[in-house]
Structure formats: C-alpha cells, structure tokens
Amino acid sequence: MVKLRIYNDPFSFHPMQHPIHLHGQRMLVVDRDGVPTPNMSWEDTVIIPVGSTVDLLIDASNPGDWLLHCHIAEHVASGMETVLHVDPR
C-alpha cells in the first residue's frame, strides 16, 4: 500500500475541481481535508475540489508503469499527468 496526498491548488493554471484517475490500480479515499471518509470503497477516480487536499491509499499490487492523470483531456495536454511505477518486488 502507498499513501498519496494530492492538493488542488486554487492558484494553479486550472483552478477548478479535477477528476483524478489512476490506471491499473485501485485506491481508497482515506480523508478529505483531514476529515476521515466514512464507508470507504475501492475507486479508480476521485474528484478533488479546488483548494482541497485528499489522502489516498493505493493498493500498489499490480506491477508496471501506470498513468495517474486528470480526466479532463485539455488538462492532460497541458501536463496534468504522471506515471506511477510499481515494482514487482
């Protein structure tokens, strides 16, 4: 398991909510802005409102290189994406 914190900066190039999508893995939203998430369920996409921080717990059990990106095409085109490398060890 990997914990990832994502902050949606209200002063960024795209100040709006973002649907963040992770390929090849599943994740739990542990909390939003420090408030624990009741009744967590496995997700592959999470909406992050402007100015919010979301803590994710990623089940990194599927080895490979997996895309993590905003699900708005124009935002991906401007660089809102990264690769999550999961080592098979």
CATH number attached to the domain at 2-86: 2.60.40.420
**Distances from the Cα of 81 to the Cαs of 9, 28, 33, 43, 70, in angstroms?**
15, 19, 22, 18, 7
Helix H or strand E encompassing 73 = helix 73-77
Q: pLDDT, tens digit, for every residue of 30-80?
A: 999 999 999 999 999 999 999 999 999 999 999 999 999 999 998 888 889
Model confidence at 25, pLDDT cuts 50, 70, 90, reads: very high
Contacts of 21 (CB under 8 A, 6+ apart): 44, 45, 67, 68, 69, 70, 71
C-alpha to C-alpha distance for 3 and 67, rounded to whole angstroms: 16
Asked if residue 48 lies in contact with residue 21, where contact means CB atoms within 8 angstroms, the answer is no
Residue with tokens 């795209």: 14
pTM for the full model?
A: 0.90
